[in-house]
Chain A
């Protein structure tokens, strides 16, 4: 016979009665307290699953309930009645996992690697799929405000001779005609922001005087323009936006915490994520250049040349566009490009 001190609640009032529960080997139970004696069979009572060190509850057939804090004694009772017990429930196994550190570490590793995998590989693949299915007109909407920005005092009118501008523009149109893409591309020359080129999702591509002065041949300029077109054709603006918003949503649902300023919790990981995402997109834009050059049996050397010159000259300080500031380390890019050849 095993005995156990419990608190008994009759289900009729909030009175707490301290009682003694006695269990015989055959499963007969007796609850004893001041002015109370109740007999029942162990198998007719329902025991709540174990959860950390919280009290467990034995729900009695009469609607009463025993609150048990002596978990060890309760274990002894369960062990004694094991053969009469129904099959162990799901939550029994859950508790086993929770109470053993090596299972906990294992689940933690799985959770972390699965969320990381989803965020690093799953999400970019998904957003690429969605972005390519969406109409090009969305890119137009994403680029609202382009004109205002180009006319702002961040930029001055270009001082590149008109003749050279026209020559580059003709080559630009030539490339577009071969692309077979629905974006309406246009090329804009501006002075400011150092040696730089960037693209808006709508297809407006900006080259700065700094870049044109840095270039030693037209082929180098063409390669840079191709890189920017790669961003546009592959819908990088839209994809970055999709990835960012879905990642935030995912992070907040995983942590399940809408209350504790979830957005700010997600801010730091999001920053790191965005850096990683844009590095992948840069690689994709580089590959776009290579594919074009290869199909025209042209060398990739001008591209690597100007990349190296851009990075040795002056590293850009942070700027406001999605992909102008986040180019990966040039050495790494150049090495990659040379390997592909």
Chain B
């Protein structure tokens, strides 16, 4: 038995505007205290309006939990900067400390968000391990690019002392660019894999089957065509603008063109990564022997359509001084959600709660401290 069920989005711009503006108002008049409730209500609006197979999603976090977490973060940060006033030595530990705590905070946020997202009264969960999180977030995500840039810097400093060869220099720049590109692709891939593979819905595990090779193809095409377009544009721009140092309208024009190119690049990457990841994700009951694949997805975003939405959203938000942001968000959400389909290879009723993972006090006590959202 195979069934296809389209994801639906029932939000409306005018309706969401009211939720959004009341959230803003209450957050301002309560000096930010209400922002925890605002966050929950905002999420509930989008979750509650997303439906598939005749049921909506649900966000069930307690605002008070989120508020406590936020107060804690503010308290720790102010305590630290107060201590740094008296012990200036502490300043040196600030960055390493934050780097060290960050992966833990990321994990907490993911666990919290999953635990309080549910569908048909079954909650999602996130089973990432701390060690794994450090490997992905700290080592791959933050330390690797720093290492590449620093080693290049020292290499450059070293070579400068005995030879100031231009070809050497461009070789170095090319090498660093290539390394950073490889890092970008690898990090993007493993971050998503970490996110997807550690997600659960009831007893079902998400499994991402997309390969690193496919990521390299997507990012490679994007990087090559973007660089070519940029080079072409810069050459024509230099030819036309020619000699004089132009700051006026010419500069604004060039910046806008480059911005539009960047936006197109973003839409391209988003669409292909999103489609790739979702189309290659399965929900599997690993406790069944042999494992059964129950659900998969089909995502069909289009680059031009998404680019057009991005561009018009930005223009509308800017021209309306932010008042059209709700419209822009609803529009983007509708497009992304309604281009997705759920494919079930079996009975949804067979999905059952994960008994083992039922009580998760770890997630409940403090909430999402960083407000992170990893979007695919």
List chain A positions with a Cβ less than 8 A from chain B.
Answer: 7, 9-16, 51-55, 57, 64-65, 67, 90-91, 94, 97-99, 101, 103-104, 107-108, 110-111, 114-115, 154, 251, 254-255, 257, 259-261, 264-269, 317-320
Residue among B16, B17, B24, B55 making CB contact with A7, cutoff 8 Å: B55
Q: Can you list 6 residue pairs at the A/B interface with Cβ under 8 Å?
A: A12-B352, A13-B352, A53-B15, A255-B322, A257-B325, A260-B317
| Residues on A with beta carbons closer than 8 Å to the beta carbon of B16 | 52
| Residues on A with beta carbons closer than 8 Å to the beta carbon of B70 | none
Q: Digitize B11-22: 1 where CB-to-A-CB distance is under 8 Å, 0 elsewhere.
A: 100011111011
- Distance between Cα atoms of A99 and B55 in the complex (Å): 24
Contact B122 A55 (CB under 8 A): no
Residue of A nearest to B249 (CB): A318
What's the least CB distance linking A9 to chain B, in Å?
A: 4
- Distance between Cα atoms of A227 and B26 in the complex (Å): 44
What's the least CB distance linking A114 to chain B, in Å?
A: 6
Residue among B45, B202, B348 making CB contact with A52, cutoff 8 Å: B45
Residue of A nearest to B245 (CB): A154
Contact A52 B19 (CB under 8 A): yes
User: 6 closest A-B pairs (Cβ-Cβ)?
Assistant: A54-B48, A9-B121, A15-B349, A107-B25, A14-B351, A65-B121
| Residues on B with beta carbons closer than 8 Å to the beta carbon of A52 | 11, 15-16, 18-19, 45, 48-49
- Distance between Cα atoms of A295 and B25 in the complex (Å): 48
Contact A317 B314 (CB under 8 A): no
Q: Which of B11, B16, B44, B248 has the most CB of A within 10 A?
A: B44
Assess A107 versus B22: contact at CB under 8 Å? Given A11-B353, A14-B202. yes
Contact B120 A9 (CB under 8 A): yes
- Distance between Cα atoms of A323 and B101 in the complex (Å): 44
List chain B positions with a Cβ less than 8 A from chain A.
Answer: 10-11, 15-19, 21-22, 24-26, 28-29, 37, 41, 44-45, 48-49, 53-56, 58, 119-122, 202, 245, 247-248, 259, 263, 310, 313-314, 317-319, 321-323, 325, 328-329, 332, 348-353, 375
Contact B322 A254 (CB under 8 A): yes
Q: Is the interface of B mostly helix, strand, loop or mixed?
A: helix
| Residues on B with beta carbons closer than 8 Å to the beta carbon of A97 | 22
Residue among B318, B352, B353 making CB contact with A268, cutoff 8 Å: B318
- Distance between Cα atoms of A255 and B317 in the complex (Å): 10
Contact A265 B121 (CB under 8 A): no
Contact A67 B56 (CB under 8 A): yes
Beyond A16-B55, A264-B314, A269-B318, 10 additional contacts (C-beta under 8 Å) are A13-B349, A13-B353, A14-B351, A16-B120, A55-B48, A55-B56, A94-B41, A104-B18, A267-B318, A269-B322
| Residues on A with beta carbons closer than 8 Å to the beta carbon of B321 | 269
| Residues on A with beta carbons closer than 8 Å to the beta carbon of B314 | 260-261, 264-265
Contact B22 A51 (CB under 8 A): no
- Distance between Cα atoms of A266 and B321 in the complex (Å): 8
Assess A265 versus B322: contact at CB under 8 Å? Given A91-B37, A94-B41. yes
| Residues on B with beta carbons closer than 8 Å to the beta carbon of A101 | 18
Residue of A nearest to B319 (CB): A268
- Distance between Cα atoms of A90 and B23 in the complex (Å): 13
| Residues on B with beta carbons closer than 8 Å to the beta carbon of A269 | 318, 321-322
Residue of B nearest to A108 (CB): B21
- Distance between Cα atoms of A11 and B317 in the complex (Å): 41
- Distance between Cα atoms of A8 and B328 in the complex (Å): 34
Assess A261 versus B54: contact at CB under 8 Å? Given A94-B26, A254-B24. no
| Residues on A with beta carbons closer than 8 Å to the beta carbon of B22 | 94, 97-98, 103-104, 107
- Distance between Cα atoms of A278 and B75 in the complex (Å): 37
| Residues on A with beta carbons closer than 8 Å to the beta carbon of B332 | 260
Residue among B202, B248, B352 making CB contact with A317, cutoff 8 Å: B248
Contact B318 A10 (CB under 8 A): no
Residue of A nearest to B16 (CB): A52
What's the least CB distance linking B203 to chain A, in Å?
A: 9
- Distance between Cα atoms of A111 and B323 in the complex (Å): 11
Residue of B nearest to A8 (CB): B121
| Residues on B with beta carbons closer than 8 Å to the beta carbon of A55 | 48, 56
Contact B317 A318 (CB under 8 A): no
Residue among A64, A99, A108, A318 making CB contact with B247, cutoff 8 Å: A318
| Residues on B with beta carbons closer than 8 Å to the beta carbon of A16 | 53-55, 120, 348-349
- Distance between Cα atoms of A110 and B24 in the complex (Å): 10
Contact A54 B56 (CB under 8 A): yes
Contact B259 A264 (CB under 8 A): yes
Contact A320 B24 (CB under 8 A): no
| Residues on B with beta carbons closer than 8 Å to the beta carbon of A268 | 318-319
What's the least CB distance linking B275 to chain A, in Å?
A: 19
| Residues on A with beta carbons closer than 8 Å to the beta carbon of B56 | 54-55, 67
| Residues on A with beta carbons closer than 8 Å to the beta carbon of B122 | 9, 11, 13-14
| Residues on A with beta carbons closer than 8 Å to the beta carbon of B44 | 51, 54
What's the least CB distance linking B260 to chain A, in Å?
A: 10
